[in-house]
Structure 1
Amino acid sequence: MPPITPPAESAGPMEVVPPGMEDSTPLGVPEDLSSGPESVPMGEYGDYHALHQSNCDMWGCQPALTASSGTWLRRGWWYTEIEAVVLNRMWKRDDMTLGQDSGSTRKLLLKRSDPGAAGNVRLTLGRFLFRDVENRDHTIEFTAFGGGESTQDDTLTSSTDGQTLFVPTGISDFNPAFDGAESMVVDYDSRFNSFEVNYRVKERLRRDRMMLTPGGEWVRTTNEGLTKQFLFGLRYFDLVDTLDWSATNISTFANEDGNYHVVTNNDMFGVQLGCSLLYERDRWNVELMGKGGPYINDVKAKSRFTITNDEDSSYSVNNRDTTLSFIGEMQLVGRYHLRPNISLKAGWQMMYVSAVAIAPDQLNFSPDEGRFPYTGDPFYNGGIFGLECYW
């Protein structure tokens, strides 16, 4: 039997209230902005308890626990989100060969397409500002994201215990390198930290429906459907790469040991725009979100090449430049509302960063300063698990 809708009633005064606090004191909106009166309870547990005392069979004819957009969704002045984000990082499709063994087919590799996952933490603190005449909530929020580090390492030793290792010319560019080494070890780490401030506008669901229960009582329930959110903000994003490559017993440098250390730093600051589309029900919702924008990138690359007991062959290179970068993100997230102010969330995230300097691209065994590459475009994707709270 379809829901029975009561006759429409005359309009009454509308109140401007924080999310989910429709019973709070009016905040002074003019009386000519109106909505229909509420002549029934707002869907709290009291409605259910009243039905529970009736003669209806518990599992036969009683309705589900009532919920409404006023009592279950986004209820409070403040909100916080705590998320664990596990991201896998890739920066090119094929692996990067740093060293080879002339006596075998073994190689010293960096896996550019699958370097491993890193666990990150994202914290958001937001404040409700006001609700406009179009029934949209305006909020401002601060988000910190990062803390994880993608790492990988590899080792290559001579198959004959001799000086049979060499560096491909695509890396050394015919400069003196670790050719004739007995062993090589490489460690590569990459991390990022992000801080952003966003102004967000959130649509609310349409006015709740009135439904007649088998016990003859009208109750208020959520009118599920699609809503949109928009954001505008400022963001700082710091991406740091560190690569350490060492070799032992190098014949090119009189059987000495060597080390090649590279650090790149990308300090990006810019603006971002975003939009979300949500399908909302009384106890759960699904959200598709995308955001992105241009960033001014202060790019720095520092390289240090050292040979034990050979200062003439050692050198340091410092490069710096400014370029325009881009950062884009997309998320698909589902939420389940445990309580009026607590929700669990899980989903998938992708992030793309363009025009940045990454450490492996700086390897050239050259002491010359000047032009250096900052054309890296790392891509991140992985899972999201978190908790949202309102108060």
Structure 2
Amino acid sequence: MPPISPPAESVEGMEVLPPGAGEPAPTSVRDEIAGDPTAITMGEYGDYHALDQANCDVWAHRPALTSSTGTWLRRGWWYTEIEAVVLNRMWKRDDMTLGQDSASNRKLILARTDPGASGSVRFTLGRFLFRDIKNRDHTMEFTAFGGGESTQDDTLTSASDGQTLFVPTGISDFNPAFDGAQTMNVDYDSRFNSFEVNYRVKERLSRDRMLLTPGGEWVRTANEGVTKQYLVGFRYFDLVDTLDWNATNISTFANEDGNYHVEADNDMFGLQIGGSMLFEHDRWNIEIMGKGGPYITDVKSESRLTITNDADSSFTVNNRDTTLSYIGELQIIGRYHLRPNISLKAGWQMMYVSAVALAPDQLNFSPDDGRFPYTGDPFYNGGIFGMECYW
């Protein structure tokens, strides 16, 4: 690896420039004696200016070779993270039965535990602010996350010539429903978008070590260990559920066709705090990160039942309410540093959202306001693949 200049020197623990700001490395007594313009000084991790002639003789007037070090990483004013996130969504432990065939006992099902995975994108843009006297980087960052959609559908057709499909009373709530339909089908979509602004404090590795290789070369290398990071910020999370339920030739409604459309929109805004621990090696690290906080949730729901040629049986109900929710996340991430400013990352993420209104929970076939439950607690988990860049 070619030598890489460390950041500018500290002044009473406060560094003027961030890593890799493009300033030339300061010269030292050792460099002047060696006469080597490419020699590396220790910067804030131990200044060579105080070295006397005897110490310079110990070093044999030769610059130390540069390895991956604490100053080798995170060199830049700005940074960005781009990730592909594949998440599986679970919103209840048991499947939900919307319709059933009395002749064959077959069911119209919404699978609550395994609706399939969806792909999302997460983008982070951050700005280095300053480094404090404890050798911690202070940054401000913006993160956008979303774009994926979890979908599922199912169809049920009567096994006999008669109209034998019916809706469980737990769904119809004893109101006129799609009982006696010839066929039923359901489409269910769920999606979210998230935007957050965080203030983050990142510890750096402690001062570098000088190691003597078997070949007699002095090598400057990282002092491997555990570092911590902290964050506090604000987050907006928009969770939208949409359900379309269609039925044909319904005896309950004089053999007409019907459509039941429900949309629930949860606008969540709140404060979050978090932290992480990293085991850092010179070329890779492993991080465990968690964050969460309370959210004020503005919930809007529209339920619309449409019966063909039967305006009296059709209705539209709009509900709106405010509740308190919670969002928590846990990530396990590994990184490999290709260069001082470029790293590949992969890992696992889990996210829990509590007390939100989901579309299937609003089904009740009632023309009145009816219930407006917050029984949804969706849980997401899946893989992360991406990269980080500093400049």
TM > 0.5 fold call? yes
Structure 1 residue 347, shift from structure 2 partner: 0.3
AA paired with 2:23? S
| Of 42, 46, 59, the match for 1:36 | 46
| Counterpart in the other structure of 1:78 | 78
| Counterpart in the other structure of 2:202 | 202
TM-score (norm 2): 0.86
SS at match of 1:171: helix
User: CA-atom RMSD, angstroms?
Assistant: 2.2
SS at match of 2:246: strand
With over 3 angstroms needed to count, the CA separation of the structure-2 counterparts of 1:380 and 1:13, relative to structure 1, is closer
SS at match of 1:311: coil
Contact 1:21/1:75 (CA < 8 Å) preserved in 2?
yes
Distance 2:170 2:11 in 1: 76
Alignment of 1:171-320 (within 5 A): 171-320=171-320
Give CA-to-partner distance per residue, 1:321-344, whole Å, 9 cap, x none.
Answer: 001110000000000001111100
SS at match of 1:312: coil
With over 3 angstroms needed to count, the CA separation of the structure-2 counterparts of 1:285 and 1:17, relative to structure 1, is farther
Give CA-to-partner distance per residue, 1:16-38, whole Å, 9 cap, x none.
Answer: 04443387379xxxxxxx76214
Give CA-to-partner distance per residue, 1:222-281, whole Å, 9 cap, x none.
Answer: 000000000000000000000000000001111100000000000000100000000000
Contact 1:244/1:261 (CA < 8 Å) preserved in 2?
yes
SS at match of 1:159: coil
Distance 1:12 1:210 in 2: 23
With over 3 angstroms needed to count, the CA separation of the structure-2 counterparts of 1:236 and 1:275, relative to structure 1, is same
Q: Name the % identity.
A: 78
AA paired with 1:307? I
SS at match of 1:361: helix
AA paired with 1:36? G
- Structure 2, unaligned runs of 5 or more: 1-9, 26-43, 50-61
After the TM superposition, which of the residue ranges 362-371 and 291-300 deviates more from structure 2? 362-371
Contact 1:14/1:35 (CA < 8 Å) preserved in 2?
no
With over 3 angstroms needed to count, the CA separation of the structure-2 counterparts of 1:21 and 1:14, relative to structure 1, is farther
Alignment of 1:287-366 (within 5 A): 287-366=287-366
| Counterpart in the other structure of 2:15 | 16
- Structure 1, unaligned runs of 5 or more: 1-10, 27-33, 40-49, 52-62
Answering whether residue 108 of structure 2 is matched by residue 108 of structure 1, we say yes
Distance 1:289 1:376 in 2: 25
Alignment of 1:120-139 (within 5 A): 120-139=120-139
SS at match of 2:170: helix
Give CA-to-partner distance per residue, 1:103-158, whole Å, 9 cap, x none.
Answer: 10210000001111010000000000000001000000000000000000000001
Alignment of 1:46-85 (within 5 A): 66-71=67-72, 73-85=73-85
Distance 1:145 1:215 in 2: 50
Contact 1:18/1:128 (CA < 8 Å) preserved in 2?
no
Distance 1:279 1:64 in 2: 24
